[in-house]
Each structure stands twice: as structure tokens, then as C-alpha cells.
Amino acid sequence: MEQLFGIPTLWLALGLALVLLVLLGVTAYFANRHRFLFKLGVRNVPRRKAQSVLIVMGLMLSTTIIASSLGIGDTVTHSIRVDAFTALGHTDEIISSPEAELFGGVFLPDGALDQIQSIASAHDQIDGIMPQTDSQFIAILPRSARAEAEMRVIGFDPDLQKPFGQLITAQPEWDGLSKPGNVVEIDDLSRVLTTERARNEMFLNEDAARELKAKKGDRIIIVTPTDSWQMRVHSIVKNGGLSGGGGSSPVAIVRLGLAQAMLGVEGKFTKVLVSNRGGIEGGIRESADVTRDLRLAFSNRDVAQEIFEILRGPRSLALLDFSEERSVSHGLRDDISLLKLELGRDAMSDDFISIVADQQFVATLVTVLNRGGLEENSERLNTLSSQLFNLTVDDIKADRLELAEQTGSQFVSLFTIFGSVSIIVGLLLVFLVFVLLAAARSSEIGIGRAIGLRQSHVVQAFLYEGLAYALAAAVLGTILGVIASIALSTILQSVVSSDQFTIHSKFTTNSAIIAFSAGMVLTIVTVFLSSLWVSRLNIIVAIRGLRVNPNRDVSTPVRILRQGWPVVVVGV
């Protein structure tokens, strides 16, 4: 994960590590000044090995819960990221018609491809574009008597394949003819466009081959609204990139001309794929700039100006202020804040167009205006938003990676909330352990106080002993948390079909630092407070080994506060 509770995990790890280093530095300073107190406290750890083991096992509870929660968050985030990179390959953005989201199968306007090619050729951050014709047909394999009702048939231009990576052959377990690991090109497919004798060739991805139980060389019938096409399977290719796949998405890849012939159109495209410079993972760094530039190029500035005038009205601004204050989403508050900043300018800017290009954010603004009593403005804004762009630019890879971060953070929050009670119980256990240790050593402490030890010295001795337990508990708790997160990931994968989604276990260095540092800091603070508590004893009573009632001569309200604070803490 890159963020946790809205804070970058790197900053959080560095902050907790710095706090821990400060605490350890202060402790080391006093230990160096009073070495005999350090030896007095630490000597009890090896003396009572069984007791020390039990104490460490109890103390590592909070660290284990924190580490396992972070591990699950890392695993979910990493798994979604891997799925996004695998499924999309080199594709970073997708350009389509605005009506495609509503109706599907809508072709790009005439001249749109020339405009896109002109922009892409002049843009330093775009590596290449790939126009495609994408449609769903029925596929029938007579040999296996199986059919797929939603086979995506995608046509690509082989001359534009290079920036979008290679197609690699796969070998399904039922196919003895295919050889895995070979590189195939779209240009390898036959150039014939005929409905007869299965001379047309296509690639099937792994999902399609699995649904049809297809093998290399099989004859497949593609049924279109107007005809049926006899096809031959050239090769089975791995899921990902141009071959799509993942989540049971059967795809057949053909030449661009053949896909257009199946639809009965010529020179028409449903969408254009965009690949940024930097490769599969590095291209995401250019996605924000490329998306912004493309959206500005395809925007209708007259429509944008009208939206600008609607939103900068006094009542609209007041509703935005109210929504910003009441919003529970940090992202939405940031978006509203940026929008208000742009609305405060004298003229509309390109940044304003970039902000209102987010359809989900505009839908939120429509809802805000409608609930605020500006129904006419709300309806007008809804209408204008669909007319703002001639072409829609979807930064699909960036959206999926953002979804990965949000999902991972939500999992951490969920596990932390459910584990917070256990963490608090663990901290109370720390407190109880040191109270019991002090009770067992009351005579020893009393004699030490009688010969000159101060209360602060007793606190330091217990703190050094607790620090030894805390260090061992933090190390073991972090390791156990990693193991627990892997075990939970395995259980989660058994619930989710591997064909739909694959779980990849992951535990980052930042998460390990956060878990270790947080466990250590919480334990050290609790040990220090418990040491202050147990150091307050009567010397005579301690030496004689007598029991004293701490609530004697204490009023009832004070007694309730002393004994009831653990219940209040657990309740909070």
C-alpha cells in the first residue's frame, strides 16, 4: 500500500521509526547513566525463562494484529495491481465515443482517428496508439459441442502492435498440440476475408479456450447478426495485454479488417488504446499528464464555459462550501476544494476542464445542486456534462490502481477496527503483568527503597525489563503477523476462484516497520505507565510482605475512577 488512513505509508513508517528511536535514545541515555539499574531490571529476564516466555507471548498480541492487518492490506493491494497490470498490459488509456458507456458498441465519429493520431504523434509521453473494433458474438465449437454466448472478437492493426507488447502462446492441459512460450504476431494471421472453408484465422486467449475446450487447429463458428464465419484457431495465447482475459473474459483476436467485415462496416473503430512511454508499470507516471492533454484536446470549451457559470453562482458556491464541510471522503473534499479555487478565478482555465472531466465527480455535483434546491441548474449541468467532450478518455490503469489502494486501505481499516479490542486487551495485559510482577517482588523493591533507591529508580528498572520483553515481543509479533497474513491470504484464495481473481501474498518493508515500531511504541508507553503505577508503594508494608488496600480512606468517586478506567478504555 502507498497510503494508510490518508497518510503515505513511507511517512508513517518514518514517523513511527523516529518516535521509536527517540524513545530508545532516551532510555539508552538513562541506562548508560545508571548501569546498575539496567542490570537490575534485565537480569530478571533470563532468570525466569518460563515466565519471560509467557510474558512475551502476551505482549506480542497487539503487534501480531497490526502486522497481520497491514499484511492483508498489502496482499489485496498488490493482487489488484498485478491483475490490472496483467489484464491491461501496455494499455494506459482508452479513447471511445461518449455514447459508448450508455449504449455500447458505438463507433468513433468520422475523422476521430486522424485527430487522435495527430495528437499522439506530437505528444512526447505517448508511445503508441492502437485502434480496435470490438464486438461480442456467439462462438460455437462443434468438436466439443460447447458454445460461448459472449465471445469478444477484437480486431487489431498488426502494423501498430509493437508498443503494446507481444502475444505469448499458452498450452491448456487438454491441448497437446500447442507449445507454450512462443511469440506470435497479429501479422501471422491469414489475410483471407471469407465465410467459407475456415480459412480465416484467430487467436484465442486462455479464458476462451477454457470455456470452449478449444485446441490449436480447431474449427470454430462465429455467429454474427447477419452471417456466420468459419474460423480456425491459429494459437492459444496467454491472458493479458492485447489478449485481455482475467475474470473469465473470453477473447478472440483477429485482423482489424476481418472484425470490421463481421460487423458489416469498413474503416470504423469502437475505441483506441493508448500506450504511454515507460512500459507496463512506468507508463502510469505519465497517465495524469496524457489524460489531461487528451481531454483538453477533445473538450468543447463553450460547454465548459456554461458549466463554469453555473457552478460559480452564489447559491452553488454556498452548496459547495456546505458539501466540503460535511463530506467524509478526503478525496471528495480535495476535489471540491480544487474546484472552488478554480471558480474563484476571473476566467475559466484548463485545470477547471480537467476537474469537471471526472464524470463521477460531476454526478456528485449534480446531486448536490439537486438536493440544495437548484433543480434547474442540476438538470442543465447533467445535460452539459454529456456534451463536454467529443471523445471520452478513460485513464483505466490509473483508476484500477487507485481502486487497489482504496480496497487495501479498507481491508486494513476493517481488520484494525475488529482487532482494536484485542489490541486494547493486549495493552491491559501488559499493565496487569507488571502489576503482578511488582506484587511478587514487593519485598525486593521495599528493601531497595529502604537502602536508598528512589521511586524513579524503580520505574527505570521495570522499564528496562519491560523494554527487553517489548523488543522480543515486537520481533516475534511481526514475524507471526506475516505468517498470519499469508495464512489468511491462502484461505481467501480458497474462497475466491483462481479463474476470477488470483491472490498474491505481499508484505512490504514499510508495513514491517510500521508494525514493529507501533508495537514497540505502544508497549513501551504502557510499560512506562504501569511502572509509574507499581512504583508507588509503602516501604514498610512492602518489606513485611503485607497487603494494603489502595482504596482505603478514598472517596467512592475516586475509587470508581481508579477501578473503572479499563472499562471506559475498552468501551471507547
**CA 62 to chain centroid:** 24
Predicted confidence at residue 105, as pLDDT, reads 63
* Three-state secondary-structure class, residue 421: helix
Give the number of other CB atoms < 10 A from CB of residue 19. Answer: 16
Residue type, position 111, single letter: G
> What is the C-alpha to C-alpha distance for residues 517 and 15, in angstroms, rounded to an integer?
9
Predicted confidence at residue 98, as pLDDT, reads 79
Bridge partner residues of 167 (DSSP):
184
Predicted confidence at residue 220, as pLDDT, reads 92
> What is the C-alpha to C-alpha distance for residues 27 and 33, in angstroms, rounded to an integer?
10
> What is the C-alpha to C-alpha distance for residues 477 and 456, in angstroms, rounded to an integer?
30
Burial per residue of 270-292, b for 16 or more beta-carbon CB atoms within 10 angstroms, e otherwise: bbbbbbbbbebeebbebbeebbb
> What is the C-alpha to C-alpha distance for residues 257 and 250, in angstroms, rounded to an integer?
20
Predicted confidence at residue 159, as pLDDT, reads 86
Predicted confidence at residue 18, as pLDDT, reads 92
Give the number of other CB atoms < 10 A from CB of residue 480. Answer: 19
Contact between 514 and 9 (Cβ < 8 Å): yes
Burial per residue of 168-186, b for 16 or more beta-carbon CB atoms within 10 angstroms, e otherwise: bbbbbeebeebeeeeebeb
Instruction: Find the angle CA(12)-CA(17)-CA(20) to the nearest 5 degrees.
Output: 130
> What is the C-alpha to C-alpha distance for residues 442 and 448, in angstroms, rounded to an integer?
10
Predicted confidence at residue 449, as pLDDT, reads 66
Question: What's this model's pTM, rounded to 2 decimal places?
Answer: 0.72
Contact between 151 and 139 (Cβ < 8 Å): yes
> What is the C-alpha to C-alpha distance for residues 129 and 95, in angstroms, rounded to an integer?
10
Backbone angles phi, psi at 201, to 5 degrees: -120, 155
Predicted confidence at residue 7, as pLDDT, reads 74
**CA 483 to chain centroid:** 21
**What are the grid coordinates assigned to 292, written together?**
489531461
> What is the C-alpha to C-alpha distance for residues 275 and 558, in angstroms, rounded to an integer?
69
| 91 Rama class: left (phi>0) / alpha (psi -120 to 50) / beta | beta
Give the number of other CB atoms < 10 A from CB of residue 194. Answer: 13
**Most distant CA pair in the chain: distance in Å?**
106
DSSP, res 106: P
Predicted confidence at residue 29, as pLDDT, reads 87
Query: For every one of its 572 residues, what pLDDT tens digit does the chain have, with 9 covering 90 and above?
Result: 666 666 777 888 888 889 889 888 888 888 888 787 788 777 777 877 777 887 788 778 778 888 888 888 888 888 888 888 888 888 899 998 877 665 556 788 888 888 899 998 888 999 999 998 988 899 999 988 899 998 999 988 888 888 888 888 887 777 666 677 888 888 888 776 666 666 788 999 888 888 899 988 889 999 988 888 888 988 898 888 888 765 568 899 998 888 888 888 888 888 899 999 988 888 888 888 898 888 888 888 888 888 888 888 888 878 777 776 666 566 677 788 888 888 888 888 888 888 888 777 888 888 888 888 888 888 888 888 888 888 888 888 888 888 887 777 777 777 767 667 767 777 777 777 777 766 666 666 666 666 666 777 777 777 888 888 888 888 888 899 888 888 888 887 777 655 556 777 888 888 888 888 888 888 888 778 777 776 666 666 556 555 555 555 555 565 555 555 555 555 55
Give the number of other CB atoms < 10 A from CB of residue 479. Answer: 17
Helix, strand and coil in the chain, % to nearest 5: 60, 15, 25
Predicted confidence at residue 512, as pLDDT, reads 87
Task: Select from 9, 11, 26 the least CA-distant residue to 521.
Answer: 26
**What are the grid coordinates assigned to 308, written together?**
463554469
**CA 152 to chain centroid:** 28
Distances (CA, A) of 408 to 75, 510, 527: 8, 14, 32
Bridge partner residues of 55 (DSSP):
none
> What is the C-alpha to C-alpha distance for residues 534 and 550, in angstroms, rounded to an integer?
12
Q: Which DSSP string corresponds to 244-274?
A: --SSS--EEEEEHHHHHHHHT-SS--SEEEE
